[in-house]
Amino acid sequence: MSDLESFRLQTRTWLQANCPPEMREPVRDETDLCWGGRNAVFKNDAQKRWLELMAERGWTVPDWPKDYGGGGLSPAETKILRQEMTAIGARNPLYSFGISMLGPALLKYGTEEQKKRFLPKIARGEIRWCQGYSEPNAGSDLASLQTKAEDKGDHWLVNGQKVWTSYADKADWIFCLVRTDFAAPKHKGISFFLFDMATPGVSTRPILLISGLSPFCETFFDDVRVPKDQVVGEINKGWDVAKYLLGHEREMISGMGLGTGAAASLGETLVEMVGRDAQGCMTDPMLRADIARFDVDAIAFRAMSERFIDELKAGLAHPAQPSMMKYAGTELNKKRHELVMAAGGSDTLEWQSERSRGGKPAREWLRTKGNSIEGGTSEIQLGIIAKRILDLPGA
């Protein structure tokens, strides 16, 4: 038996023995996700135990080095672990911007001291991070951000405002873009800071969205003192770190195109709700056709995601490929929720009823409209593809 085959068997055995049954049920809503942090809220003991068991093996971040709390797995082993988790419907033990965004940037740009200080706590879910990128006047044109950091000798003094900071009101620390040089061209005066959200002068205000939920905040900095050893990369070279991190953010967002739950097609998940005709086909033929075409796109995209991850791990992916994945994945996710709404009809319009679990389908449908805006709009991604991959002229 090859090493990989025996790894697969060991992994399968371990997952069977250790993944609690509650953690094999499909994710129903936001509260089923575990985000960790200083004030972690666990829905039940199983969720807590699952995080601890996985973190102990380094499997919250299977492909990170063991020294930083990871599992030290090869790309092939990581893929096997994911496949085996999917096979039994095992939930991700930890959702974390530390894992999906900051971690990869620290691994590439952080000092040894920073890696040792921050990464293990990310891996164990002890610190919850948020992202301070967008500002009221720096959205698609992110590099024009104005949050100011002044050199005060032994520390930096930060003043300004961020917006669309996901879960800022629940986060422990922030990774944040600030301007450290106002004279330089806009991309060349930006630095990448890390600081504790409990630092005096940091405040947050949730933003009410069309979904009726508030996953995003405005975040204000009023004379916030940041120690000098909490800058990632060189001063004024934060844009490189920021872009690298954005690639990982886009990669994460593109995963939305895969939908939640294991391998079921959209048609399978909706057919009982819509009903079947005498032949067993979904009753509404026009809707069935729309859904079948969507499933073609969705399953094809799943193959693309597999290819992208394989190529990424092997160092074969184009550096701008996350833009393509983000674009395709988010457009697909929007389409998915349009079809869910169409299939559900007036049932899915209910906003507060228990029957609709507090308007879950409608609120999710509205939430997805932000997918093609956050992390760089679809139009920004298409522009990046045109210039960096297709080498089209101009701008």
Partner 1 sequence: MPLFFNEDQTMLRDTAREFMASEGSIAGQLRKYRDMNCKDGFGHALWRQFGEMGFTGILVDEADGGLGLGHVEAGIVLEEIGRNLTPSPFLTTSVGAVEALRGSPLRQRWLPGILSGETVAALAVDEGPKHRPDAISMQAERFGNGFRLSGRKQFVVQGASADFFVVAAQAREGLTLFVVEKGARGLSVEGVRLADSSIGARLELDNVEIDADAVVGEVGQGAAALSRVLNGARAGAASEMVGLASGATDMTLDYLRQRKQFGRLIGEFQALQHRAAHLYSELEIARASALKAQQLLDERSDEAEAMVSVAKAKAGRVSTLAVQEGVQMHGGIGMTDEYDIGLYMKRDRVLNELFGDPNYHADQLARLKGY
Contact between 358 and 352 under an 8 Å Cβ cutoff? The reply is: yes
The per-residue DSSP string of 147-182 comes to: -EEEE-SSEEEEEEEEEEEETTTT-SEEEEEEES-S
Q: By CB under 8 A, is residue 314 in contact with partner 1?
A: yes
In 3D space, the residue among 123, 148, 6, 2 whose CA is nearest the CA of residue 67 turns out to be: 123
Minimum distance from residue 185 beta carbon to partner 1 (Å): 22
Would you count residue 262 as binding partner 1 (CB under 8 A)?
A: no
Confirm or reject binding of residue 7 to partner 1 (CB under 8 A). Answer: no
Which C-beta is closer to partner 1: that of 228 or that of 276? 276
Query: Active site residue: 84, 249, 251, 374, which one?
Result: 249
Sign, Cα dihedral of 114, 117, 118, 123: positive
Interacting residues with partner 1 between 320 and 339 (CB under 8 A)? 324, 327-328
> Is 390 a binder of partner 1 (CB under 8 A)?
yes
Nearer to partner 1, 217 or 252 (CB): 252
| Residue 234 is a binding residue for partner 1 (CB under 8 A) | no
Taking the complex as a whole, how short is the minimal distance between the CB of residue 360 and partner 1, in angstroms? 22
In the complex, the smallest distance separating the C-beta of residue 142 from partner 1, rounded to whole angstroms, is 19
Instruction: Identify residues 352-381 at the interface with partner 1 (CB under 8 A).
Output: 379, 381
For 282, which DSSP code?
Answer: B
- Nearest-approach distance from CB 302 to partner 1, in angstroms: 8
Q: Is position 265 an interface residue for partner 1 (rule: CB under 8 A)?
A: yes
Torsion from C-alpha of 299, 302, 308, 309, nearest 10 degrees:
-160
Tokens linked to 239? 């844009």
Give the one residue of 201, 316, 345, 351 binding partner 1; rule: CB under 8 A. 316
Q: H helices within the chain, ranges in order?
A: 3-18, 45-56, 75-87, 97, 103-109, 112-123, 238-254, 266-274, 285-313, 321-344, 360-368, 378-384
- Between CA 79 and CA 99 the distance in angstroms is 17
How does DSSP classify residue 140?
S
The count of C-alpha atoms lying within 13 angstroms of the C-alpha of 293, restricted to the half-sphere facing its C-beta, is 7
Please provide the distance, in angstroms rounded to a whole number, between the alpha carbons at the two ends of the chain.
Answer: 55
Write down the least CB distance from residue 63 to partner 1, Å.
14
The whole-angstrom separation of Cα 345 and Cα 275 is 13
Residue 268 annotated as catalytic: no
d(CA 258, CA 246): 19
Q: Of 19-27, 30-38, 92-100, 300-308, which part binds partner 1 (CB under 8 A)?
A: 300-308
Determine if 383 is a binding residue for partner 1 (CB under 8 A).
yes
Q: Considering the complex, what minimum distance in angstroms separates the CB of residue 387 from partner 1?
A: 8
Decide if residue 389 touches partner 1 (CB under 8 A): yes
* Total chain residues near partner 1 (CB under 8 A): 48
The reply to whether 267 sits near partner 1 by the rule CB under 8 A is yes
Q: How far is 249 from 177, CA to CA, in rounded Å?
A: 15
Residue 391 binding partner 1, by CB under 8 A:
yes
**Residue with Cβ nearer partner 1 (4 or 184):** 4
> Least distance from C-beta 140 to partner 1, angstroms?
13
Is 299 a binder of partner 1 (CB under 8 A)?
A: yes
Residues 279-298: x where in contact with partner 1 by CB under 8 A, - otherwise, as a string: -xxx-----xx-xxx-xxx-
Separation CA 326–CA 321 (nearest Å): 9
Tokens representing 154 are 């032994």
Residue ranges binding partner 1 (CB under 8 A): 76, 79, 265, 267-268, 270-271, 276, 280-282, 288-289, 291-293, 295-297, 299-301, 303-304, 306-308, 310-311, 314, 316, 324, 327-328, 379, 381-383, 385-387, 389-395
Tell me the catalytic residues.
Answer: 249
